[in-house]
Structure 1
Amino acid sequence: MTDISPEPAAGGPGDEPVPNDLSGLFADDPERGDQLEKLARAAVRGTKGGMADATTGTPRDLPALPEPAGLVFEDDEDQEHNGTLVTGPQPGTGGWTWRDAFPPDTFDSAAWAHRKKVALHQLAWHAGHSHLYAWRLTRLSGIGMVAGARDGWHYYSAQEYADMVDTARRKGLNPDIVAALREERLETARARRREPLLVGATTAVLTAIAAAVAIADVYGLLAASPAALLTLGILSALGLREHRRRNPEAALSTAFALSAASTADGAPLTDDLLNRILRTAKVFTKDEHQITLLEPIRPAEINGVLAKFKLPDDLQVSALVAKKEAIAGALDVEPHWIDIKEDGSPRRCSFWFCSSDPFGEPRTSPLVAEPERQDVWNRGILIGFNRRGLPVYLKLRHVMALLGGMSRTGKGMLLRNLIVGLGLDPRVNLRLVAGAKPGEHRGYGPICSTFFGRRPERLITLLEAFLREAYRREAILEDQGRAKFGEKDLDEFPLEILIIDEYKQYANASVRIPDPTDDREEGPRRTIKACDRIAELIEEIAAFAAALNMTVLISTQDPDANTVPRGYKSNTGARAATRTGGAVQTNAILKDGATGAGLRAHEIPESLRGGVIVDIDGTPGELIRSFFIEDEEFDGAADLIRAGLHLREELGRAPGQFVDRIEDYLIEVTGTSSLAGGPTGSGRPGPVTDTAVMEETTTVLTLMLDAFAKAGDVDRLRTGDLLPLLATLDPDTFSYEALGVEEADADADDQAAKAATAAYNRAGGRRLAEEIAKALDGTDRELVSREWTTAPRGRGYLLAEVRTAARIAPE
């Protein structure tokens, strides 16, 4: 490729000069030379200049250029310099333009947009107070008229001599002196009445007043308004002078007794408003304390405004952070509507303020609309957005993670964002263990290398397999003389991420297991609590496995100081807390002293659904809101899971397509598989063989067990209560449409609704009995509905009998 440039470049030693005339190069082929010239001129016409120059087609000793690594498009009109958008060429980058003669922010459109907003607010504010201005201007004019008449009369009558006469009489001076003063007063007053200036001024004022009255009488008030305004202005000036005489230390603005527009409710942020707020919040305690704007205030994300300023020498940004609640009170907003951060030094502050709740509207995860491949290693997992509207990513590399909070506070939604994001990166082996209600996680099964629930013994085996893999990887690192794995190792050593949901169920498990340290061959072996063994293994993994591309994430509800193993918590680098029940729970999730540092998860407003305080890389101690992925009306994650599974299948990284030492160890020890949720995909481990037969014969029983799990802690369900749950799990079989029953309209009366429900229950009961008979055909098991008289009365199915029919041992 030939580079055409008008700038000469020095050649290296021994380089032969390049001919300046291209015609000599193509003397034997003039058509080719003409063609090259046309192409060169056409290329130059496509540039910003749009015209060919005299040097086109004439290379001058150009050095060889390397092939470009990729296409890079640059525009000299807009350049980013040190994080600030600078318009026009800069010194040393191609010359100066006329814009460089102005300050850098003169042509900043964002700054001018905020200035316009401030100006319009001031205009509207002053227009709304025009009636007060008119009244106080009239009153000031009245004071001026009285003061002017008084001063004029005093000058006209030489009133200063009258004051001297009164003083002389009070002091008892000689009567001749008093008489002389009176005579001098008469002569002075007589002389002043003949002064041209006094006569002219008096005549002009009386004439202006008479003219204004006459014009108003003949032509109306509108025609007389110029003369009236002139008179009003003169009288107001006299009134201001009188105000200054009466109040020598007061400002002239006090004559109108109106507060500044910046102090009004809803006023745009200005430096005056910031100074007033910081004084009200007791941050500024001295009269000389003022902020210094580093750049113009400008609009920011989500109806926000961003101000960057420098504090006085004796104050730091930490003082503002400590007074955040007081500052919010002065602004009359919630504390989470403002964001205060250091901007390069302890005295430089980045102050973000929002005029409305930045978390007021939920946001659907962008992955729902575009389920693209994720980069968990470099960018992290998209989990939510902060108060400035910016996306927040959680990196689960070389870190252990802890998530906790009260029930129904958004913990499950945050976990939902995590799981679908992990599923969209095929370099991740995802293992999910549910402590309660594994049916809620059934949709995630297809992308999970391991998925099961409510089995403490199996969790112990999984943790042992996890630990074995960690030791294997550590030995490889030791042989290679390295400290940790990196991104280039992900093909051979993918990220192993184990999520234990509702860990408190395992922490309180009363199941006892043989003590692994008791190796005697005869006699009964000692037993220990399963919860103690689980905590021991988790602490051992957390102590060293993070550098081996292995992560354990614990999610727990209502934790206390003893719920999370101390050794694990001390090695946890990523923490997230939804709303908690108190300071103890907050400290148990985040860190000791978190509440004292302002991380008060127990103070997250109840109205802020999905609100989370995250203490992670990039956003330490920040309040965010989780992205929303529908989980009630329909399964909004289903398409994301399918996309993740399809991506993994294409790359040979779907569960069962690669060598999985951890799941293989589980199968070896237990004889059952939990790959992708087990044979039925519901989180129940099962035999590795005859998977297809098991799926075929236990489908309806699995659905019934999932329905029981969805219903909560119940041991029986009436058929009328069971059918709607089955319809949500398998609408193709148990929905109104599938049963051929017409559903009652929303505005139907009670009688019609009851009739439709009764028809649905009859048809659904028959369909359910048929499906059960089909599933158990050829076996020695049976499952029939029962009728019970204890509350709640009805006819339906018992959980224990369903489990027996499905050949699942009772828990």
Structure 2
Amino acid sequence: MTDISPESAPGGPGDERIPDDLSTLFADDPASLDRLEKAARASVRDTRAGMADATTGSKREIPVPVPPAEMVAGGLVFDDDDQEHEGGAAVPAPRKSSGGWKWQDAFPTGTFDSGVWAHRKKVFLHALARHAGHSHVYAWRLSKLSGLGMMAGARDSWHYYTAQEYADMVDTARRKNLNPDIIAALREERNETARARRRETMLVATTTAVLTVIAAAVAVADVYGLLASSPAAVLMLGILSAMGLREHKRRNPDEALSQVFAMPFGTGPDVPLTDTLLNRVLRLAKVFTKDDQEITLTEPIRPAEIKGVEAKFKLPDEVTFSQVMAKREAIAAALDVEVHWLDIQQDGSPSRVSFWYCTSDPFGEARTSPLVDNPERTDVWKRGILIGFNRRGLPIYLKLRHVMALLGGMSRTGKGMILRNLICGLGLDPRVNLRLVAGAKPGEHRGYAPICSTFFGRRPERLIALLDALLAEAYRREDYLEEQGRAKLGEKDLDLFPLEILIIDEYKQYASSSIRLPDPTDEEGRRTFKAADRIAEQLEELAAFAAALNITVLVSTQDPDANTIPRGYKSNSGARVATRTGGSVQTNAILKDGATGAGLRAHDIPESLKGGAIVDIDGAPGEIIRGFFIEDEEYDGAADIIAAGRELREELGRAPGQFADQVEEYLIAVTGASSMAGGPTGSGRPGPRTGTAVLEKTTVLTLMLDAFAKAGNVDRLRTADLLQHLAVLDPDTWSWEALGVDEVPEDHEDFKTATSAYNRAGGRRLAEEIAKDLEGTDRELVTREWTVAPRGRGYLLADVRTAAGIAPE
């Protein structure tokens, strides 16, 4: 612990310093020492460190943690639960101590940075190519300067030969009507001066040298051609150009010499970013209103993520970051690029800017979700759900904890793909109870059923019951917090109170529904209420207090208007995602009132940007992103992710049906039907919980149902294909070795023979196991043959469900 007690003055009473280790004061009193340690641990329980460690109360060296690579590289999410620094700007890594000063520290920043030198090389080559491409312009300007120099030289030479300054004095004297004798004297003095100058050795030598060079150049060109005389011509051109430049400066004293050869302002994605270019852009965009205003680079310009380049600079006095942001469109126009090719962020203070500039469309190529190839467990609480990437190529995570969420946009704009990323990510965290309600086309969500604690299609009365169940669960959790004397649930409470996430897809189908239901408070059964109004009331009630209770509702809708989303729910939604909308009204309806005026213009997202969205979430406020792609047309790209999520949940006893689910129990008690994992058929159609007891233990029938789910919820499987899945699910029973077949041979013919033997043995074992499971029942399960392509003989999913005691759809 840190010693914060004042020390007595040296030499005075109490000169003994308080020791670093307080335990030495209580060496003879174990009871006091124990109380001291307990008090020390209790004092740090509510700090960032969380629980105290075994060494609390004694002096120890605490190592400085080094952040992971994703934090240093500019990732948006940090693992510190209480101190989360989220933002698009990269966080510099702390320097590791290397024993003191290094010789590299004597050089400017970026001297040994290969990225900085790569950008400088690009700037040099671009400048070289640009100047070479404009050589004809330079030649014309040099010719004009040479002509000007020739005329100025001839004029000055004549004036010197003739003593023109005396002629000026004579004219002045005549205008002033001076004595004629004075004028005559001036004229005589002029003649004498002119005669003396024409006899000067330097003047004669210079004139002779110039005329000789010209004559020699002409003679060489006449005899050997223009190429041979080019050195003399270049020399003469340089001399005349210098004379012309001096004359130009005399005529235009206020013009800088650099402007004489200035080229037109180059823009476009092929122009490397430099401080000069930035100053020109900011001046052209009217960010800088004074000629002397210029930026000051704080770091060398260097390549950044994907095809971008980043410059960090300090703004001049009287210019702030907000003024730069207000001119984003003008800056993009000055650079001749799209607005979303730029990313301008504050870099520590209002006078410092991180300017990221992409050389091509950062969203030009779709990117497949990393979960497709690596469906690993996700951390929904700390990290969030991976939904897409921003213009810098950095991943964007959506946290659905202690927040209500809203997702909206026009049809076919990528809203469904973002929702697909969300559901897949939620399925890979077993601490989440996912409840999915489809307002339309529940069939497209059928593949998610295995990980859903609740899943059903368009049924307003059941949604009302589900919202009532969540409200009851919220009040139960609130009572728990009241007993604990706490304000909200945290990550440590997830074992007792898992994260309840309800997703209502196509909410507009419920908001615009005209269905009326009987009022349960009316004993006579005469009154009814509108289902849409009741659902809106329940959502507003949940949004008012349930977020702190580990309960989240995400509403997804298309073509919203100001009245689609309940106002109370919208005002309490802290996470909003808008794909392309049809206008400013829809944009404001999804994001927030005044979003369009704040620059969040979802209706301006280019139609060519498939999956583009504006997110207003923790860590990425008002940022444009593109959602990750998970195949949903050619094949079900989410099948392996859902299968991995189901397997993970089963291992931890958190799959639907493996734990006490009070919400589903409430639904069954009220409606008499179960929608766990999509109901008995997994299609989102609730039904009786028939045959649950049979399915509580692992039998060959449950393995067959898992095999059908692993195959992508097909309606039939050939026996040979079914055996392959069973071998993966239960290798001890269904592998080649378990069925008495030798190892897989390498030879093709031997392999075909062995496969046939395995299929015959497996078919017999499968029939025997099915007979054992169904012994004593009136149910049976036999193979069937079908002629619909692909032809084969095997089992139908409907027959397996019926044999397992599950009521047919």
Task: Give the TM-score band, short-chain normalised.
Answer: 0.7 to 0.9
- Of residues 131, 136, 155, the one that matches 2:160 is 155
More deviation, 226-235/568-577 = 226-235
2-structure distance, mates of 1:185, 1:552 = 101
- Of residues 102, 109, 118, the one that matches 1:97 is 102
- Of residues 194, 197, 202, the one that matches 1:192 is 197
- Give how far 1:103 is off: 2.2
Instruction: Check conservation: 1:126, 1:261, Cα contact below 8 A.
Output: no
- Give how far 1:444 is off: 0.5
Counterpart in 2 of 1:109?
Answer: 114
Counterpart in 2 of 1:145?
Answer: 150
The 3 A distance-change label for structure 1 pair 96 and 221 is: farther
Instruction: Check conservation: 1:79, 1:86, Cα contact below 8 A.
Output: no
Counterpart in 2 of 1:547?
Answer: 548
Deviations 1:706-736 (CA, angstroms, capped at 9, x unpaired):
xxxxxxxxxxxxxxxxxxxxx9966979xxx
Give the number of aligned pairs.
651
1:396 is matched by which residue type in structure 2?
L
The 3 A distance-change label for structure 1 pair 67 and 340 is: closer
Structure with the bigger RCO (C-alpha within 8 Å, sep 6+) is: 2
Counterpart in 2 of 1:208?
Answer: 213
1-structure distance, mates of 2:73, 2:685 = 58
Counterpart in 2 of 1:361?
Answer: 365
- Of residues 426, 429, 451, the one that matches 2:433 is 429
Instruction: Check conservation: 1:336, 1:387, Cα contact below 8 A.
Output: yes
Residue aligned with 1:284, SS: coil
Alignment of 1:379-528 (within 5 A): 379-518=383-522, 520=523, 523-528=524-529
Residue aligned with 1:659, SS: coil
1-structure distance, mates of 2:269, 2:675 = 60
| RMSD of aligned alpha carbons | 3.8
Deviations 1:316-349 (CA, angstroms, capped at 9, x unpaired):
2111222221221122111111122221122222
Deviations 1:570-593 (CA, angstroms, capped at 9, x unpaired):
221111111112222211111111
- Give how far 1:632 is off: 0.9
Instruction: Check conservation: 1:434, 1:454, Cα contact below 8 A.
Output: yes
Residue aligned with 1:485, SS: coil
Q: Is residue 634 of structure 1 aligned with residue 635 of structure 2?
A: yes
Q: Is residue 570 of structure 1 aligned with residue 575 of structure 2?
A: no
Deviations 1:52-93 (CA, angstroms, capped at 9, x unpaired):
xxxxxxxxxxxx999999999999xx999x944698x87xx5
The 3 A distance-change label for structure 1 pair 641 and 142 is: same
Instruction: Check conservation: 2:384, 2:397, Cα contact below 8 A.
Output: yes
1:156 is matched by which residue type in structure 2?
Y
Deviations 1:542-592 (CA, angstroms, capped at 9, x unpaired):
221111111111111111222112221122111111111222221111111
Counterpart in 2 of 1:322?
Answer: 326
Residue aligned with 2:312, SS: strand
More deviation, 459-468/247-256 = 247-256
Counterpart in 2 of 1:34?
Answer: none
Instruction: Check conservation: 1:125, 1:261, Cα contact below 8 A.
Output: no
Q: Structure 2-normalised TM-score? A: 0.74
- Give how far 1:443 is off: 0.6
Alignment of 1:51-66 (within 5 A): none
Deviations 1:579-610 (CA, angstroms, capped at 9, x unpaired):
11222221111111111211111221111111
What is the percent sequence identity of the aligned residues? Answer: 74
Counterpart in 2 of 1:683?
Answer: 684
1-structure distance, mates of 2:139, 2:480 = 86
- Of residues 126, 131, 146, the one that matches 2:131 is 126
Q: Is residue 334 of structure 1 aligned with residue 320 of structure 2?
A: no
Structure 1: give runs of 5+ residues left out of the alignment: 1-11, 14-63, 695-726, 734-761, 779-805
More deviation, 394-403/115-124 = 115-124
The 3 A distance-change label for structure 1 pair 392 and 639 is: same
- Give how far 1:263 is off: 5.7
The 3 A distance-change label for structure 1 pair 730 and 337 is: farther
2-structure distance, mates of 1:358, 1:308 = 20
Residue aligned with 1:119, SS: helix
Counterpart in 2 of 1:753?
Answer: none
Structure 2: give runs of 5+ residues left out of the alignment: 1-19, 22-57, 75-89, 696-711, 719-785
The 3 A distance-change label for structure 1 pair 775 and 470 is: same
Counterpart in 1 of 2:239?
Answer: 234
2:404 is matched by which residue type in structure 1?
M
The 3 A distance-change label for structure 1 pair 286 and 143 is: closer
Q: Is residue 352 of structure 1 aligned with residue 356 of structure 2?
A: yes
- Give how far 1:381 is off: 0.2
Deviations 1:351-403 (CA, angstroms, capped at 9, x unpaired):
22222211111111111111111010100000001111110000011111111
The 3 A distance-change label for structure 1 pair 566 and 148 is: same
Alignment of 1:214-225 (within 5 A): 214-216=219-221, 221-225=226-230
Residue aligned with 2:411, SS: coil
- Give how far 1:488 is off: 1.5
- Give how far 1:163 is off: 3.9
The 3 A distance-change label for structure 1 pair 412 and 79 is: closer
Q: Is residue 268 of structure 1 aligned with residue 272 of structure 2?
A: yes
The 3 A distance-change label for structure 1 pair 692 and 490 is: closer
More deviation, 237-246/162-171 = 162-171
Counterpart in 1 of 2:775?
Answer: none
The 3 A distance-change label for structure 1 pair 245 and 72 is: closer
Instruction: Check conservation: 2:450, 2:678, Cα contact below 8 A.
Output: yes
Residue aligned with 1:287, SS: coil
Instruction: Check conservation: 1:510, 1:530, Cα contact below 8 A.
Output: yes
Instruction: Check conservation: 1:86, 1:104, Cα contact below 8 A.
Output: no
2:295 is matched by which residue type in structure 1?
I
The 3 A distance-change label for structure 1 pair 192 and 105 is: same
The 3 A distance-change label for structure 1 pair 130 and 559 is: same
- Give how far 1:216 is off: 4.7
1:504 is matched by which residue type in structure 2?
K
Deviations 1:386-424 (CA, angstroms, capped at 9, x unpaired):
111110000011111111111111110010000000001
Instruction: Check conservation: 1:328, 1:335, Cα contact below 8 A.
Output: yes
1-structure distance, mates of 2:527, 2:593 = 36
2-structure distance, mates of 1:300, 1:111 = 10
2-structure distance, mates of 1:293, 1:72 = 27
Q: Is residue 602 of structure 1 aligned with residue 607 of structure 2?
A: no
The 3 A distance-change label for structure 1 pair 69 and 266 is: closer
2-structure distance, mates of 1:637, 1:264 = 40
- Give how far 1:210 is off: 3.6
More deviation, 380-389/205-214 = 205-214
Residue aligned with 2:537, SS: helix
Residue aligned with 1:673, SS: coil
Q: Structure 1-normalised TM-score? A: 0.74
1:205 is matched by which residue type in structure 2?
V
1:463 is matched by which residue type in structure 2?
L
- Give how far 1:167 is off: 5.2
2:593 is matched by which residue type in structure 1?
D
Deviations 1:141-187 (CA, angstroms, capped at 9, x unpaired):
22222322332232123233344445556667666555444432332
1:146 is matched by which residue type in structure 2?
M
The 3 A distance-change label for structure 1 pair 380 and 86 is: closer
1:615 is matched by which residue type in structure 2?
D
